[in-house]
Every structure is written in structure tokens, then in C-alpha cells.
Chain A
Amino acid sequence: MATEALGWWGVPLGILAGTLRGSAPFLFVSLGECLTEKSGKINLGLEGTLLMGAMSAYGVSYLTQDAVGSFWAPWLGVLAAGFAGMTLGTIHGWLAQQPRVNDVAVGIAMIIFGSGLAFFLGKPFIQPQASQLFTFEFGAWSSNPAVQSALKVSPLFLMGVAIAPIMQWFFRSTRWGLYIRAVGDSPQAALAMGISTFKVRMLSIVAGSFFAGIGGACLSLYFPGVWTERISSGQGLMAVALVIFARWSPLQCLWASLLFGGAQAIGPAFQSVGIDAYYYLFNAAPYILTLVIMVITCSPQRTLIGAPGALGKDE
């Protein structure tokens, strides 16, 4: 089939495709961080968790593809990424809750630890090719290869999209969600209710890190689908910032992630249709977007709506 040029249509299509391809890591990390922060602790270490997840997913998929076949191997990788994330989360959850220990400082240490460990263990996996996750071909109706390629959607992305409303419901309508919100808003009251703040926070951090690990698997097993040391380029940290302007609401995390995923594609899409001025500016679009949104939404008159009460306090 002859490839036909899309011309100007390439820009919206490119941004749409970039959104579908690139927002999954943001989505998983921000949902994980949302869960963690709702319980009153911050986990900045998710950047390290993301890298560790990407490395373990790629490594496990590569090592098992001969034994279980190229369909199941990446799924084992996704599981491994989740478990790698949980391991790092356990360390963070235990350390950050010790007396006189600051969770932000532990988080920074965990970024360095997680990324260092991932680089160290990931050396042998840079070169080989691992089996990739399958994709749903939602573009099969179109005869245009560009549309077909843009609508290849990863099952992980769909899972992330499904998890966001479920998590929203979980916080609002379930007993466990209430526990997490109570611990995050007022640990004293939660303690009086007979809830163990340590256990609830530990579980929230571990579960959040599980999501972040899966976010890493999206990077290495779906898009861009390689393991290199520069694979995350700060996406873990951006996702943490994203939770703040999503106002700690899982559904808004979803919209924010889509926005960031799409913003990544702006620079290349514009250059490919010949808008070649200011490409440094367009390439920096996600970061500029963060700043703009922060400036618009912040106000000296009030504190951030939705911020868990105990967040950043030593309680």
C-alpha cells in the first residue's frame, strides 16, 4: 500500500497518537502517587521506581520469551515490574515512617537508589530485543497506515484509563478508601478510630509503587519499547507534580496525563509538517505546560483544595 502524505492533518493525528502512546506512564505513576499522597506521605522516589519497573519488565520479558512464548513473556515482565515497584515501595514506606525521618528526603534517596539499581542490573538488557506487549488495532477500519498506526492502543493504557474512575469510586465510597483519606487528613482522628496509620500508609505506598512499576513497563514494553538509561527523562518526577495540579483526584490525573502525553508529541509533529522555528520551545512543551498550569491554579488567598491535611507534616 502506498503511503500517502497527511500534510496538516498529521499534526492533530500526531498529537492524538502521542496521547494514546505516551500518556500511559504518566497515568500509572500519577495514579500511584495519588494513592500514596492521599494517605499523607509523599513518595518522590517514583522516578526511581519507574526506571526499576522499566528495567525489570524488559529484562524479564527478554529472559522468559523462549520459555513462555512472545505473548506471555511481556505480561510476566509487567508483573515483575509491579513487584519490583512494590519492593522499592516497602523500603520507602518503612523508612519514611520512622521517627524524625522526612519523607521528601527519603524519596530523593529512593530516586538515586532505584535508578542506580536499575542501571546496574540493566546493563545486560540494553542491547537485546525483548518481546513487546500486543496492541489493540482500533484503526483497522481505515485504509490509511498513519491512522492505523495511531490507533494501536496498548492494553496497559486501557487498564490505566479504567483504574482512574475505579480509584475515584474507591476513595469516595468504600471503607478502605475512607481509611486512607482519614489517615491522610487527620492521623489523630484515624488513630482514635482504631486504624493503624503505619499499616495504612505502608499499604498505600506499596500499592502506589506497584502502579509506578507498571508505568515503567509501559515505557519499555510498549512505547518507545526499549530499555536505555535515559528512557524516563524525568517522567516520574513530572507525574508527581501532575498529582498536585490534578488536585489529588484520580479522574483529573487521567486528564492531566493525557495532556502531558500529547504535549510530548507537539515538537516532532510540528517539525514534520515544516513548522521548524522554535523547536526547542515546542520540545519543552510539557515543562512549560506544567509551569503555566501551576501559575494559573495557584492562589495566595487559599490553600490547595483537596490537599490531604497531613501531607508534608511530621505526624
Chain B
Amino acid sequence: MPNHPPLGFSRRQVIRGLLATTAFGAVTKLSAGCTPAPDAEPDAASEVDSGAVSEVVVGFIYVGPKDDFGYNQAHAEGAAAMAANVSGIKIVEEASVPETSAVAESMRSMIEIDGATALFPTSFGYFDPYILELATEFPEVQFFHAGGLYQEGTHPDNVGSYFGYIDEAEYVAGIVAGYTSKSGKLGFVAAKPIPQVLRNINAFTLGAKSVNPDITTQVIFTGEWAEPVKEAEATNSMADQGIDVVTCHVDSPKVVMETAEKRGIFCTGYHANQAPLAPKGYLTGAEWDWVSIYTSLGEQFMEGKTLMAGDIPHILRGGLADKFCKLSDYGPAVSDEAKAAADAAKEQLIAGDLIIYTGGLKSNTGDVVVPEGEGYKQDNIELEKMDYLIEGVLGNIEG
């Protein structure tokens, strides 16, 4: 074929086609950019008039799938409850959004296309810089982040943070593990040595040590939030070392629970209820309980309350007492003695009588991390900066 252009289009046709496409694109982009504006103004006006609003669109963004038996499932259950319990709340969701500029695009389209006025980008790594950038760009939209990164004064006014002291539940799970373990060796599969993870490891160990002071917890860091092969390897090598209760802090505990069950050892769950995955070995688990907190935030949105006006506090924190977290039902392997001790500790934590981090606590490198005669209560800011593993934990946070 000597003189035919590729695909049979002449240059003129190609240029004409490109021009037409560009023109079409420009027109639709511009008109899309213009239309929401006139709608938005009357809305804003009515909000000011009545205080309450008729419909609020709330956006939820998850880092993984919504039914992963883990972190994202816990949030998605809370979101569904918010939509079900509060009339007028409409939720839009996007799952498996990586912690990259992809999340900025998701937030932008939720705001511009779906008209969301409150966003819950739930993953830790979304905060800086993506939430902060979008919050500056859209000062009328509220951003709620799950994690301890928000700082009063330095971050925009329309950003809030909420998180639970789930280490209270880990402490109780540690008590159950301490009673159940025969070898006195517990295992913890952890993703990365960040403060939230270290708090869980330490609280779990302290709970177990309250039963038997000689108990140890072996930590294995996998280095990533979702590494199914390494999590399974870690669980297997712990079982090889005679560890008989494992737990974990990774995005989806499914692999760890299933592997523990296959190896015939016990496990305690995290994030959500994993009892169906390990019917024999599942003892209990520290679960998030976003239902109550999301429902109450949804009600406040409908009343027209905002972070910017100061009606909603910027920092929401709570533990078992405030229903930020809960414990899974006890599994068949839990003894009555363990149940009684765990229930007693739970009561004390809810009443605020039990301090997990008591004075004189030492790290596993021998430093005193909680000064003698002082106890750190859950809301102590020092605990959010945790960078040590306590005595009794076998592991090292320096990679």
C-alpha cells in the first residue's frame, strides 16, 4: 500500500476531528463548571435562614475494599448506619483509593459532582497533604479524619479529627489472651511502628501481664498495611516458635486469623468481628464501633452544625465508655475465669478507674517511659507520641 495514510484518514480529517473534540471538551467542561454555582447559592442562603437543612451529602473514602473484615469494613458499617439512622443523610462512597493524589481527585469529585459538604477520608495517610490542600481550597466543606494528626491552630478550621482509644479494648483482649495461653508466649503481627500500632501492642501486652507477669509478646513487623503473604508467613513462624495466641494490627486481619486457625492456635481479632474466620480459635477482638459516633455526627450535620462555626468539636476522642470501640463476643475457648477478669477490667475502664499506663513503666530497652508515681490516662497527649515497646515485648521498632 504505497500512498495511503495510516488507518485511511487524511491529515485534514484528523486535524478537524481533534479540533472538534477539543471544542466539545472545552464547552462541556466550562458548562459543568458553571452550573452548580447558581444552585449552591440558594442552598447556602436557606442554611443560614433555617439553621437545619433538608439533605446533607456525606462522602466516605476507604483505602481498601469495604468488606475486608478490617479497618475499612468497620468504617463502612458506620457509614451505612449513619445513612440508615439519620433521615436526610445521603452517603457517597469510594473504596480502594490509594494514599496518593488519587484521593485528592476523589474528594474533589465528591464535592463538585456529588455536592458533598462533609467528607470522611478514613485512611491515615490521606491527611497530609491531600486533606489539608482540599480543605484550604473548599473552606465551606467539612473534613473529618480518623487519626491523631490534627493540630489545633496550625491546620485549617474546617478539618476535624476523631479517633478511639482502641487500646482499651486491646488491654481487655490481652487479659483473655493471658488466661488462654499455655506457653506464656503471645504474638503480634504489626504493619508499621507508628504510635497507634505501638499503643495496641503495649496495651495488649499489659493486659496479658496483668494475668501473668512473665508473659511475653513477640512482634513481627511486615512493613506494609496489606502484605498477605508476609502476614501468613509471620503467623506461621510464630506458631513454629510455640506462640499460642496471635493478634495483629494490619489493614485486613483475615489472613492472620485464617492462618492461626489452620495452625490450631488461638487468635484475637482487630478492627471488626472475625469470629466466622476462626470458629475454634477466636477468643475475642478489639473492634471499632463507628456506628454511634457517625450517627451523632450525622444528626449534628442535619441540625446545621459545622466545624467552622465551632458547633462540632475539632477533636473527638473516646474509648469503651464513649462507644468508640467494643469487644467481640467471647469465643468457645475462653474460660469462665478469663471472662470474669475481662468483664471486670472492662467495667473498670468504662468507669475510668483503671489506668493502663501506670507509673514506673519500663520500655524493653530499659528506659522508664512513664515517670514513677504518675499514670498516663487515655487522653494524655504523651501517649499519642508513643515510640517504645514496653518490657515484655520482644521486638524492635528501629528497622
- Residues of A bordering B, CB below 8 Å: 2-7, 10, 13-14, 17-18, 21-22, 119, 123, 126-127, 129, 145-146, 149-150, 223-226, 228-231, 233, 264-265, 267-269, 271-274, 276-281, 283
Contacts and interface: CB of A to CB of B under 8 A. Distances in A.
B196 interface: no
A310 B271 CA distance: 53
B126 to A, nearest CB: 18
Contacts of B255: 224-226, 228
| Residue of B96, B232, B238, B398 with most chain A CB atoms under a 10 A cut-off | B232
Interface string B60-102: 0000110111000100000000000000000000001000000
A273 B238 CA distance: 9
Given A14-B233, A123-B65, A223-B232, A230 B242 contact: no
B228 interface: yes
Given A126-B68, A127-B68, A271 B277 contact: no
Contacts of A17: 236, 240
B385 interface: no
Highest count of chain A CB atoms <10 Å: which of B65, B219, B231, B262:
B65
15 contacts: A2-B183, A5-B185, A6-B241, A123-B65, A145-B239, A224-B255, A226-B254, A228-B252, A233-B229, A268-B234, A271-B218, A271-B220, A272-B237, A272-B243, A280-B399
B155 interface: no
Given A129-B277, A229-B96, A272 B241 contact: yes
B244 interface: yes
**Which of A129, A223, A224 has the most chain B CB within a 10 Å cutoff?**
A224
B68 to A, nearest CB: 6
Contacts of A145: 239, 263-264
A118 to B, nearest CB: 12
B230 A267 contact: yes
A230 B233 contact: no
A3 B241 CA distance: 8
Contacts of A269: 233, 237
Contact of B65 (A5, A225, A229): A229
Interface string B304-324: 000000000000000000000
Given A6-B241, A224-B258, A271-B395, 18 more contacts: A2-B183, A14-B233, A14-B237, A22-B229, A126-B65, A127-B69, A127-B73, A225-B258, A228-B252, A229-B65, A230-B228, A231-B228, A233-B228, A269-B237, A271-B221, A272-B238, A280-B399, A283-B223
B234 A272 contact: yes
Contacts of A3: 183, 239, 242, 244, 265
Interface in B190-242: 218-223, 226-234, 236-242
B229 A264 contact: yes
B233 A22 contact: yes
Interface string B144-176: 000000000000000000000000000000000
B364 to A, nearest CB: 10
Nearest to B394: A274
Nearest to B242: A5
A302 B222 CA distance: 40
Contacts of B69: 127
Contacts of B262: 149
Contacts of B398: 277
B399 A279 contact: yes
Contact of B237 (A10, A226, A229): A10
A17 B185 CA distance: 22
Given A6-B241, A17-B236, A126-B68, A228 B223 contact: no
For B240, B255, B277, the residue with the greatest tally of chain A CB atoms inside 10 Å of its CB is B240
- 7 cross-chain pairs, A with B, having the tightest CB-CB distances, nearest first: A5-B242, A224-B232, A276-B396, A280-B399, A230-B226, A268-B234, A272-B237
Contacts of B237: 10, 14, 265, 268-269, 271-272
B236 A149 contact: yes
A55 B108 CA distance: 31
Contact of A224 (B229, B239, B241, B264): B229
Contacts of A225: 232, 255, 258-259
Interface of B: 64-65, 67-69, 73, 96, 182-183, 185, 187, 218-223, 226-234, 236-244, 252, 254-255, 258-259, 262-265, 276-277, 394-396, 398-399
A281 B67 CA distance: 32
Contact of A228 (B65, B183, B233): B65
A267 B242 CA distance: 18
Contact of A119 (B96, B226, B396): B96
A267 B236 CA distance: 12
Contacts of A264: 229-230, 233
Contacts of B234: 268, 271-272
A225 B185 CA distance: 26
A272 B237 CA distance: 6
Nearest to B235: A268
Nearest to B233: A268
B365 to A, nearest CB: 12
A133 to B, nearest CB: 13
B222 A224 contact: no
A149 B230 contact: no
Nearest to B185: A5
A18 B231 CA distance: 12
A277 B258 CA distance: 28
Contacts of B242: 3-6
Contacts of B238: 272
Contacts of B227: 230, 233
B67 A127 contact: yes
A66 B221 CA distance: 38
Contact of A146 (B67, B96, B239, B399): B239
B223 A146 contact: no
Contacts of B243: 272
A229 B223 contact: no
A231 B226 CA distance: 8
Contact of B394 (A5, A126, A276, A281): A276
